[in-house]
Amino acid sequence: MHTKQRPLRVIKGGLEADKERDYKRLHPAFHSHPAYPAPNVEAEKMRVSNSLRLVGGTEVKRPGRKIFDIPVGDAINLVGASCETRRRRAVNAIFSFDVGQGVTVLNLVEEFRINMTAPATIEQELVYMERNGHIYGLFLDLGIAIIAAAEEQGLDVSAYATVFRPARLLRYLPQLKEYDDILPGLALA
């Protein structure tokens, strides 16, 4: 930085050159050590620090970051849809998936919920539990977990489903590939 002994106007390059010098210095706590043998360790450290600056979103020519001010509407237009819209589309695609004989995932989730809450005799409860076991197994094969909701969760449903193995689900629904960033842990209420 500038001191009173060396005023700004005397420094070669002016204020921009001083910013560039400060920017090129790394934080004293930063240390990089290559995990592989390098013929010139110092040159390798400089290469790594330069690539870290590039990854951090900075330009090599000038110091600092380039900040992009994009309105939310323009960003949504660039992406194609908001996060909530993408989530809804993924959930609708999963719920409308036909698991066989015209039965969809949504139908099975609803049947699971009804079987959990329907008043029944002991014999009927055993039948419901067995059917829910089949539904649970089918969902596991799809990469979806169906979970009974606890009272303390404050949900208005007795059971909900969650995607826990997106790779399995993508085998059955390859059209969800565009949503692979939101699939892990996606709640299907």
Mean pLDDT for the stretch of residues 90-100 = 91
List b or e across 5-39, with b for residues whose CB sees 16 or more CB atoms inside 10 angstroms.
Answer: eeeeeeeeeeeeebeeeeeeeeeeeeeeeeeeeee
- Residue 7: is its pLDDT beyond 60? no
Q: What is the pLDDT of residue 130?
A: 93
SS3 of residue 187 by DSSP: strand
- Average pLDDT score over the chain: 75
pLDDT band at residue 115 under the 50/70/90 scheme? confident
Q: What is the pLDDT of residue 66?
A: 55
Neighbours of 58 (CB within 10 A): 16
Q: pLDDT of 15-67, one tens digit each? A: 555 555 555 555 556 666 666 677 777 777 777 766 665 555 544 555 555 55
The DSSP result for 59-92, as a single string, is: -SSSSSBPP----HHHHHHHHSS-HHHHHHHHHH
Q: What is the pLDDT of residue 20?
A: 53
Nearest-angstrom CA–CA distance, 36 and 47: 14
Nearest-angstrom CA–CA distance, 137 and 159: 15
Nearest-angstrom CA–CA distance, 88 and 93: 9
Q: What is the pLDDT of residue 187?
A: 87
- Residue 12: is its pLDDT beyond 50? no
Neighbours of 139 (CB within 10 A): 22
Q: What is the pLDDT of residue 131?
A: 92
Nearest-angstrom CA–CA distance, 71 and 73: 5
Its pTM surpasses 0.75: no
Q: What is the pLDDT of residue 156?
A: 73
Q: In this structure, are residues 124 and 131 in contact, taking their beta carbons and an 8 Å threshold?
A: no
Q: What is the pLDDT of residue 9?
A: 44
Mean pLDDT for the stretch of residues 147-168 = 82
